[in-house]
Structure 1
């Protein structure tokens, strides 16, 4: 304390030395506020001074539950919970259950009975993190064991993930998990749990069968409260969910948690890591794809959830499909609006499979997890395959991949976004909007004389190119790069060629060289004067195709998407060569040639030495 007082005196002396009265006033007021805060902190919690606050926060982060106490005979201590401690826990972002305990129950005035529910209800309404409230007396050993029981229960069987106290309903993620469990237990897929299925469920979760009278009793309770919870085939999903809500309302959270944990769910209501596939090992230039077995499963799922039979999944049908996953995986970027939609804003089969291919390419673990959530029961290893290295593809002059990722580079207002929008069937827009974040578009391409391929277009904003190329392996995931420029703007062409050289140089230096194409966008406009000469010179110097003219506005795509896939299928072609790359290659050739000459010379010398030794040996023998 003396050290802190010394600091205050020194600070006060510094303030008073200043000549500006207004500055002195402001700094004195600031110091007074800090002193007042410190006094309050010491009143609430003597050790919660600044030098110990970090230690307090560190210890609280280790906690599985927090027990806050107040004195039953001192109302001021109860006020401090809501005015200091509970807000402080929120400020420190402590995300664990809180148990509020009224101590010294033996000292409370019995002449003025107080209802615990009446006292705590307003506080619990304000602070939903409070799991339980209880009173006890350590002196008389009243309800002391119960304090620790409820603290332990709050950790093992928390209410928060399952139930919304305000609406008195199951939380969405809890409903999704229980729905998946219901479907897994509905072996005959008739939408209800028969008596036999209910009994199997009971044995699996609680290791004890249900007696016929108990099954009748369960269904009677549900039917009395919720008639649609039971039908002629058994307990419906609605009834199943109602039962669990009833268990929770009656404080029997352990029942629902036992069911969830038996089916592999953790406290976040996601499947435990040990039930999901291990991280997929692969080299930077290898990608992950769904196998034919997984694709056939997804085709079946698509047909199953296409309730109206219009060959498309609309929003409600797609929500229903993912209703057994913790959340829909395609609600946000990069998946949202990345695939083509039908005229009625539905997702076609090709669009559906394209999004799965995109998710498998970008996040294989998430893709596999969602396959399991929606009902894939096969070995996860049978659902995916790791492609061979792109370096091997180049050597074999053929790629065996089914999904290609294309990076789209280009300056601002070159027409990159228009190419992505046209790819997934969006109408052309005259309104220009600058792209600041990476965007994706994915669709199925049917190349001439080959099987269908999935093409992923990934737009790289001009401002993000430097950051992308700062990573040595950034081009490892790229199967082909496309450079777009405005064919009517010479400055756009120059910037596109600069980007081409940057990317080609990065590929040569990192060993992850990629095929490249140049696209002359806005072909409906007049080209700038020297466009043909410039494009011919650059394409000739770098050894790649001449720019491909397109006009998204007129719908003249010039088979650009098919040409991208064809170039990606033959990764040894269309690889640009920079001057630095040629010099490097020439240098290596000279070194190799020199080494060859040295090796030949050394070999000749060795042969000559051996011949001389033989000659000398024979001469000595004859002598």
Structure 2
């Protein structure tokens, strides 16, 4: 925070200017001018990261209404002063209604000045009869204090309260009328409790509580002090702090106690350590950090990201059955806004592999996050922030022990375009492990059944047309054991809009052109589609004949499938049935291969001549051999000449 602006208000003669002079000179200054010019006070000795670099103190005159209203609108906090019964009554009858009429919502520090005049008045009397009624009636008043400019009593403390009212505001935390923490504060503290409860046993044990103390305040807590805190909590709420640790109820009660004894900066220390703003929302910098992603690059999970998600899955699989049921998923997503909307739109968890009970497996969990990261990495970053990734992952010596959420992701190399025989095609990108496939075909050709089989689910003969786009994702094992993730999207009735969208096509790595081999009208749909959308020719393609377990029909098309694909320099359509697992595995491998090495499956791209293909390693070997032969002959000729 660069600076805060404190405006000192009150009736004439209450001692506003004397308080400011006493603050600056640290002693009473008699015979000062009526209104002191604006003062700039540098950062205080605490040098806290949340303290302002400077504080501007503005004196005012109650008779100069125009200037007073202008300064109030510029201020961050109001230092409101009274000194006797009459000026006290004016607080509620004039001053606070005036501030409200100006439409400002500023914290007020109420100051009872000139307490040196009548020392017979007890502080308890002032607190009970003057301060508490105003605190209950006006939510703007954040703190009250008794001062004496003449004796320089509590002047610095009053100034500090003004700073604290801005840097550690009480208004978002506590409702004096109800004497309770506010709803947003409770929600934030519950989330922090959840994140600190590393073993998810619903208790903050001693180790977890001390780690919280270290993270928030960068200092350790004496174990005796911890035992005193637990004893205090048990006195007010029996059972809130036992051998297992502090319960959520006890944690909330402790923070409420901090407010009530005037230590709300302690709560803000906790909230800000977990990236909460003054409005009690998680800081946007935590949820949406900057990440450079080049054009034609994709984003995937890094090894750290995968490990974090594996650990999260295992932590919440309480029954150890290898799946997350609805209750476990609800608990896992507790510190977030809930399951991402984009997941619900793709019918999660039916978009991934689930067990027989319909619970998402670890395989499906990682696949879903891989798809989410590929399609919109910003969602993954946001949820990693909500999940507390920066605290749960080892920081490798980073400052404050926090690991940026961007380390959970990996940006792949840029995919470039190349040309062969005048035909443009995409270059190979070797560091990709997630690929995106569009499956296109006539209605009823078997696309949905293929997607269901891809997830290892039971095939159903019942036909249900796909209206909205449908996405599924699963891992595919290639020859040699390499694991990749393949996203398959059925476009539904938005097929035309998606195929006309250049950005959507750029994100597609391979197109699976599907037709029903038992329907003679099915293949012509693909021919017409390619004619309508010529941009599809730049994307690797694989043709597949579905329902191969039924009688094959001659296609009523301009060209039969085999000659047609041959004219595009592509392999013949693969014949697949949802019930043939071996053929399905072969198709998936071919889709990934086409996506990973586009030059092998780009429509219309002539293959390299076999002689060139063979010459590359062979010619190099021959060239090297010939070069060595020439050197040998030259060396031999020189030897003979010398003889």
- Indicate whether 1:365 and 2:378 are aligned: yes
Measured in 2, the distance between the counterparts of 1:228 and 1:326 equals 31
Measured in 2, the distance between the counterparts of 1:227 and 1:172 equals 20
Q: Give 2:344's aligned residue.
A: 332
Structure 1 residue 469 displacement after superposition? 1.7
Deviations 1:225-264 (A, max 9, x none): 4444212254344522443466679998765444212321
- Indicate whether 1:294 and 2:325 are aligned: no
What is the SS of the residue equivalent to 2:506?
A: coil
Q: Give 1:283's aligned residue.
A: 294
Structure 1 residue 406 displacement after superposition? 0.7
Deviations 1:416-445 (A, max 9, x none): 222222211333334433323222101111
What is the SS of the residue equivalent to 1:488?
A: coil
Deviations 1:181-234 (A, max 9, x none): 5247x9x9995342x875675576468987877644532342234444212254
- Indicate whether 1:308 and 2:319 are aligned: yes
Structure 1 residue 317 displacement after superposition? 3.1
Q: Give 1:545's aligned residue.
A: 571
Show the 5 A alignment for 1:178-257.
178-183=192-197, 192-194=204-206, 198=209, 201-202=212-213, 205=216, 215-232=226-243, 234-244=245-255, 256-257=267-268
Aligned residues: 461
Coordinate RMSD, CA, aligned:
5.2
Q: Give 1:353's aligned residue.
A: 366
Q: CA 1:570–1:236 in structure 2 vs 1: closer, same or farther (change >3 Å)? A: same
Structure 1 residue 340 displacement after superposition? 0.7
Structure 1 residue 574 displacement after superposition? 1.6
Q: Give 1:422's aligned residue.
A: 453
Contact kept, 8 Å, 2:296 with 2:414, in 1: the verdict is: yes
Show the 5 A alignment for 1:51-62.
none
Deviations 1:354-391 (A, max 9, x none): 11211211222332343352423444454322212333
Question: Which of 355, 374, 393 lines up with 1:376 in the alignment?
Answer: 393
Structure 1 residue 341 displacement after superposition? 0.2
- TM-score normalised by length of structure 1: 0.59
What is the SS of the residue equivalent to 1:484?
A: strand
Q: CA 1:240–1:347 in structure 2 vs 1: closer, same or farther (change >3 Å)? A: same
Q: Give 2:477's aligned residue.
A: 446
Q: CA 1:376–1:465 in structure 2 vs 1: closer, same or farther (change >3 Å)? A: farther
Contact kept, 8 Å, 2:193 with 2:204, in 1: the verdict is: no
Question: Which of 407, 412, 435 lines up with 1:387 in the alignment?
Answer: 412
- Indicate whether 1:485 and 2:519 are aligned: no
Q: Give 1:521's aligned residue.
A: 546
Structure 1 residue 172 displacement after superposition? 8.2
Q: Give 2:629's aligned residue.
A: none
Q: Give 1:572's aligned residue.
A: 599
For structure 2, the residue ranges without an aligned partner over 5 or more in a row are: 1-75, 78-91, 94-102, 108-135, 143-157, 396-402, 419-424, 607-643
Structure 1 residue 555 displacement after superposition? 6.4
Show the 5 A alignment for 1:486-505.
486-503=516-533, 505=534
Q: CA 1:557–1:190 in structure 2 vs 1: closer, same or farther (change >3 Å)? A: same
What is the SS of the residue equivalent to 2:572?
A: coil
Structure 1 residue 455 displacement after superposition? 0.8
Contact kept, 8 Å, 1:205 with 1:259, in 2: the verdict is: yes
Measured in 2, the distance between the counterparts of 1:534 and 1:453 equals 33
Structure 1 residue 343 displacement after superposition? 1.3
Show the 5 A alignment for 1:78-117.
none
Deviations 1:30-76 (A, max 9, x none): xxxxxxxxxxxxxxxxxxxxxxxxxxxxxxxxxx99xxxxxx99xxx
Q: Give 1:563's aligned residue.
A: 590
Q: Give 1:601's aligned residue.
A: none
- TM-score normalised by length of structure 2: 0.57
Contact kept, 8 Å, 1:178 with 1:241, in 2: the verdict is: no
Structure 1 residue 480 displacement after superposition? 0.6
Show the 5 A alignment for 1:20-99.
none
Contact kept, 8 Å, 1:409 with 1:459, in 2: the verdict is: yes
Q: Give 1:463's aligned residue.
A: 494
Q: CA 1:229–1:461 in structure 2 vs 1: closer, same or farther (change >3 Å)? A: same
Contact kept, 8 Å, 2:523 with 2:555, in 1: the verdict is: no
What is the SS of the residue equivalent to 2:416?
A: helix
Q: CA 1:386–1:170 in structure 2 vs 1: closer, same or farther (change >3 Å)? A: closer
Measured in 2, the distance between the counterparts of 1:292 and 1:456 equals 20
Measured in 1, the distance between the counterparts of 2:256 and 2:344 equals 30
Structure 1 residue 468 displacement after superposition? 4.1
Measured in 1, the distance between the counterparts of 2:173 and 2:466 equals 40
Q: Give 1:38's aligned residue.
A: none
Structure 1 residue 459 displacement after superposition? 1.7
Q: CA 1:294–1:335 in structure 2 vs 1: closer, same or farther (change >3 Å)? A: farther
